[in-house]
Amino acid sequence: MASLTEENYLKLIYHLSGPGYEEVSTNALAEQTQTKAASVTDMLRKLAEKNLIHYKKYQGVRLTEEGQQEALKVIRRHRLWEVFMVEKLGFRWDEVHPIAEELEHIASEELINRLDAFLDFPESDPHGDPIPTASGRMPSAEYEKLAEVPVHQEVIMMGVSEHTAPFLQFLSKSGLIPGSLVQVLEVNEFDRSMTIQVNEAHPSFVSYEVARNILVQTKG
Ligand SMILES: [Zn+2]
């Protein structure tokens, strides 16, 4: 079984390698974990010994099938706990991530499977991220960025690619939560900022930086 830190590494490698399962460099890991390359190397050696990653010195790393399953388990727990906190405990979506970072390390599969059933098998977390299944499959969710939506197009907000609390609070204030109906009214060519209408509310203004972190799907 992997330790807490090992689980965080597996999760990080999973996220950094992206949908194409590309190799992740030791430097990228050192940067993300804000630790020295030497301690990253130590950890990678441990993970390789447990057959959770493929690792050769001076080369990138890749999760083994087993490592990928471990990473998906942690992500599954994390996202189910987030659903639980928002739906059953009344937390806001900008509050749950740091707590889920702790809860995700409770390993009991029985607990997580019962939690999953209790929540009626949700497919995505409060941020719109897909929840891996009990059998270790990550549902694919390919969403467009709001920043790429043409004028007059109506879309449904599906999630976010930026998870920090200030960003989520800003969105909540503008009524931008998953499920919102969004129409692009105008795009400013100079800086690609947008005027949008959210549900039936007054038009509001979003910067390009905001729009590129909102994930949407065409309505229909
Ligand atoms: Zn989270």
User: How far does the centroid of ligand 1 lie from the alpha carbon of residue 166, in Å?
Assistant: 14
> Within this chain, do residues 49 and 82 fall inside the same structural domain, yes or no?
no
> Within this chain, do residues 150 and 211 fall inside the same structural domain, yes or no?
yes
| Domain span including residue 183 | 144-218
Q: Would residue 68 count as lying in a domain?
A: no
> Within this chain, do residues 58 and 103 fall inside the same structural domain, yes or no?
no
Residue-wise pLDDT for 122-163, tens only, equals 999 999 999 999 999 998 878 999 999 999 999 999 999 998
Tell me what the mean pLDDT of segment 48-63 comes to: 91
pLDDT of residue 73: 97
Quote the number of domains for the chain: 3
> Within this chain, do residues 159 and 199 fall inside the same structural domain, yes or no?
yes
Boundary residue ending a domain (63, 96, 113): 63
> Within this chain, do residues 132 and 150 fall inside the same structural domain, yes or no?
no
Top pLDDT among 216 and 141 is at 216
Least confident of 77-81, 111-115, 201-205: 201-205
Residue-wise pLDDT for 163-177, tens only, equals 899 999 999 998 999
Interacting residues of 150 by C-beta distance below 8 A, sequence separation 6+: 184, 187
User: How far does the centroid of ligand 1 lie from the alpha carbon of residue 100, in Å?
Assistant: 6
CA proximity to 85, closest of 121, 44, 110, 119:
119
Supply the CATH number for residue 118's domain.
1.10.10.10
Residue-wise pLDDT for 5-14, tens only, equals 899 999 999 9
Specify the 3-state DSSP secondary structure of 98: helix
User: How far does the centroid of ligand 1 lie from the alpha carbon of residue 101, in Å?
Assistant: 7
Boundary residue ending a domain (101, 117, 141): 141
Task: Tell whether the model's pLDDT for residue 3 goes beyond 80.
Answer: yes
> Within this chain, do residues 172 and 113 fall inside the same structural domain, yes or no?
no
User: How far does the centroid of ligand 1 lie from the alpha carbon of residue 114, in Å?
Assistant: 20
